[in-house]
Structure 1
Amino acid sequence: MLKFVKQNLENIDGVSIYPIVSLLIFFLFFIGLFLWVLTAKKEHIKEVSNIPLEDQLKSDQP
């Protein structure tokens, strides 16, 4: 099946740009995510990391 898809894609002009663009988008997304994690405020990280614990504590109380 892959042979048929590959054969059809080889006949399209300019199709080789799509894998390059998708790889570029992939890396830009994760580089942006990495930079956001490095620059995130510690208070925000602590607040978000305690959300599941706060919900569990509220449900355990009578």
Structure 2
Amino acid sequence: MSNKKRTPSKRTASPRRLSVRGTLRREPDLNRIARSLAALAIAQAEKEAEAERQREEPPRD
């Protein structure tokens, strides 16, 4: 894995899917776990914000 900083990318039309596979390691990869948890939290917040916008948006005729 490179040490380069990631540049923000444009969002794609489809949502991201996360996959978790168990790999036996001497120590857990805390950076990978943290990134996964952050991605899950962001996805959940986006979903909740979209639901809130749908509730607040007046019906179109």
The TM-score normalised by the length of structure 1 is 0.47
Structure with higher helix content: 1
Structure exhibiting the larger radius of gyration computed from Cα positions: 1
What is the TM-score normalised by the length of structure 2? 0.48
